[in-house]
Chain A
Amino acid sequence: GAVVSQHPSWVICKSGTSVKIECRSLDFQATTMFWYRQFPKQSLMLMATSNEGSKATYEQGVEKDKFLINHASLTLSTLTVTSAHPEDSSFYICNTGLAGGNEQFFGPGTRLTVL
């Protein structure tokens, strides 16, 4: 399947700081990427859909000013958690698929811990 990478794989930060998570499609171009969050022992929650060259679409209840998404190229989407708080501690995962394809592949995820 298509390879999706994420960086960093884990990050610990202080409350009030901002953290940027990168999601890259390594061997294909991804016009659309999806960002999910997963709390321990809970199901995946879609946060937003990022589209290359346009504004992201956020799911209901997700603060767009807190979770900034940028999809500036066909291989890179970034999620920035601004002014992070302990309740933002979670597993953040991106997924995407080939344009014109049907299958979607997840990145390995980023575990964020906010102290």
Chain B
Amino acid sequence: QKEVEQNSGPLSVPEGAIASLNCTYSDRVSQSFFWYRQYSGKSPELIMSIYSNGDKEDGRFTAQLNKASQYVSLLIRDSQPSDSATYLCAVNRNFGNEKLTFGTGTRLTIIP
């Protein structure tokens, strides 16, 4: 079992719809969870972090964390073509500047 699992996609979503990206992790004691967006040929960009169970909203993005189910998700509302990218889920066993464990990423395509 991989430590952090994501559906590789590609996930195609019509423009204006909600894109839902999912991630599961195996280390039950993980504390910090992150979503990065990576455009082709560019480095990853941090878009959301979440540490507590529940939802965290930032603009069109909502991160959801369920530690009991070891599940973290990212919802993108009103999807735009510019949201087309690979989304990486990352998990830290602790808080702080320590090694992240990344999923392999989900490729999202927003269809105009």
Q: Is the interface of A mostly helix, strand, loop or mixed?
A: loop
Alpha-carbon distance between A67 and B5 when the two chains are bound, in angstroms: 29
Closest B residue to A46 using CB positions: B99
- The minimal Cβ–Cβ distance linking B102 to chain A, given in whole angstroms, is 5
Alpha-carbon distance between A93 and B43 when the two chains are bound, in angstroms: 7
B97 touches A44 (CB 8 A): no
**Please, how many residues of chain B have a CB less than 8 angstroms from a CB on the other chain?**
22
Say which size band chain A's interface belongs to.
20 to 34
Q: Is the interface of B mostly helix, strand, loop or mixed?
A: loop
Alpha-carbon distance between A95 and B99 when the two chains are bound, in angstroms: 10
B97 touches A43 (CB 8 A): no
Alpha-carbon distance between A103 and B45 when the two chains are bound, in angstroms: 11
B46 touches A1 (CB 8 A): yes
Closest A residue to B45 using CB positions: A106
Alpha-carbon distance between A12 and B44 when the two chains are bound, in angstroms: 22
User: A102-B51, A102-B92 known; A44 and B102 CB under 8 Å?
Assistant: yes
B97 touches A97 (CB 8 A): yes
Judged by a CB distance under 8 angstroms, whether B59 is at the interface is no
Scoring B residues 20 to 53 as 1 if CB is less than 8 Å from chain A, else 0, what string do you get? 0000000000001010100000111110010100
Which residues of A are found within 8 Å of B88, using beta-carbon distances?
A: 43-44
Judged by a CB distance under 8 angstroms, whether B104 is at the interface is yes
Binding site for A on B (CB under 8 A): 32, 34, 36, 42-46, 49, 51, 88, 92, 95-100, 102-105
